[in-house]
Structure 1
Amino acid sequence: MDGADRQADAAERRIVGLPLRAFAPNAVTALALCFGLTGVRFAIGEEWEKALAAIIFAGVLDGMDGRIARLLRAQSRFGAELDSLSDVIAFGVAPAMVMFLWSLQDAPKFGWTAALALAVCCALRLARFNSRMDADVQPHKAAGFLTGIPAPAGAGLAFVPVYLWLVTGETLFREWYVVMPWVLAIAMLMISAIPTYGWSSIRLRRSWRLFALAGVGLLGAALVTAPWHSLLAICVIYVALLPFGIASYARVRLRG
């Protein structure tokens, strides 16, 4: 093929545009962004359960888009940038607005500052992730661990006081002096350097696979029938696993 033919072929590909397989994961990311912002809309109307459900569903979509991209071999720099932008809005800005409207606006001082901390730390975490994307040495990633808690998990953990309020009806969990320290702690965990479990760091024994599949099915049923109890239990387990993640990473480093 001579130069003229190659130019004609390239021009034809530009006219045809992006294949559908490259469009699909970006569409899922855009949906996650929309659901995150829809959570803010529900929070403005004080529809708290719908607000939480919208942001949590955005987290489900966020977990799907990367896997769809890898499955279709449609990874791109554009998709990575769009995913980070979506994460900042859906798991940083939206939860910050929900927590401010739900509780932190009642603080005499620094309520908005605490909400901002959640959004800013989410953005800083994602900026750190993007800056290290092409780095040759990433000790946590090489061992299958994450650095700090990921943005979707941070959003879910930030809502723990809301889960408690929905489950118990106790107004104490809505008080700003309870919510503010918790939100600030989650913000700090997002930008921390502690190693946390990632999907690639979890290994299931062959004999446990059927039990794991049964557990996933039961978890899905629990999320449908008692969503706030189930999400609260997931958050408790996640926080309880943080020290084990640190210890596991230390053992991996020693073996390395």
Structure 2
Amino acid sequence: MTRKRQESREGRLPVLSLVPNIVTMLGLCFGLTSIRFTFDEQYQFAAGMLILAALIDGLDGLLARRLNAASPFGAELDSLSDFVCFGVAPALLVYNFGLQGLAGMGWLAALFFVICCCLRLARFNVAAKDELSDDKKSFTGVPAPAGAMLGIFPVTLSLADFADLRDLQFLIALWMLAVGGMMVARFNTVSLKSMRISRDNAVYVLLAAAVIIGMMLTRIWTFHVGATVLYLGLLAWGTLRKRR
């Protein structure tokens, strides 16, 4: 019986090892679908697909570790998917939304964003393989998913009815250049992972999580705008704290 059970488990292992890659490809489908909605000028669905892709990003890595199914193939697939979902798709979305009026300048801003995302992912891949890399000792730019969420901020700002920047396309171009620069920047800041939550504050964290989930389900664009501003604030606060 023991041998049969062992053989049965071994027979299921190849199927389980595919689960993280399937999740990665699901995220890739979200990114590609976002591009499709961008071409149709359905910006609410295009931005929504990117938010879904960002939410499930990292889930594939978690599953790979839990299922003991991590592999070089999965790592490369995840990186390629991130490039499409968080580099190409948001750049096309923002360009089609509010950069076409600038002609070549708008396209250059979108290209700059994509190139910075590519460099960020390439540097992350190299640092992950090099245990002595200095990139592990300092903040080396916002991650690609966070960069994508920052990049589409002008779009969600309009979808949330806060402000429509399409009449100020030069500001959108500057924003894309700034976000691209943040993805490849190298500066010291407090890592969000280093922040610990005490048991006394656990109740407040759960309440905040409930509010966040409620906003995501009811007012997704307002949530995105607020989360973007909060992330920028934490980034600035961590940098100032690190310098002290």
TM (normalized to structure 1)? 0.85
Matched residue SS, 1:148:
coil
- Post-superposition offset of 1:57: 0.3
Question: 1:1-256 residue pairs with structure 2 within 5 A?
Answer: 19-138=14-133, 141=136, 146-168=139-161, 170-173=163-166, 175-195=168-188, 198=191, 200-250=193-243
Matches of 1:234 and 1:73 in 2, distance apart?
Answer: 33
For structure 2, the 5+ residue unaligned runs are: 1-6
Q: What is the CA-CA distance between 1:120 and the residue it aligns to?
A: 0.8
Query: RMSD in angstroms over aligned alpha carbons?
Result: 2.2
How far apart in 2 are the matches of 1:198 and 1:30? 28
SS in 2 for 1:204: coil
Q: How many residues align?
A: 236
Q: Give ranges in structure 1 of 5+ residues lacking alignment.
A: 1-11, 252-256
Distance in 1, matches of 2:201 and 2:209, equals 12
Worse-matched range after superposition: 29-38 or 107-116: 107-116
Cα distance in structure 1, aligned partners of 2:157 and 2:170: 15
Closer, same or farther: CA 176–76 of 1 in aligned 2, 3 Å: same
Are the counterparts in 1 of residues 189 and 239 from structure 2 also a CA contact under 8 Å?
yes
* Cα distance in 2 between the residues matched to 1:91 and 1:174: 25
CA–CA distance in structure 2, aligned partners of residues 39 and 92 of structure 1: 12
Q: Secondary structure at the match of 2:128?
A: coil
Distance 1:214-1:138 versus aligned 2 partners, 3 A rule = farther
Percent of pairs with identical residues: 40
Normalising by structure 2, report the TM-score.
0.88
Distance 1:215-1:141 versus aligned 2 partners, 3 A rule: farther
- Kindly name which structure, 1 or 2, has the bigger radius of gyration based on alpha carbons: 1
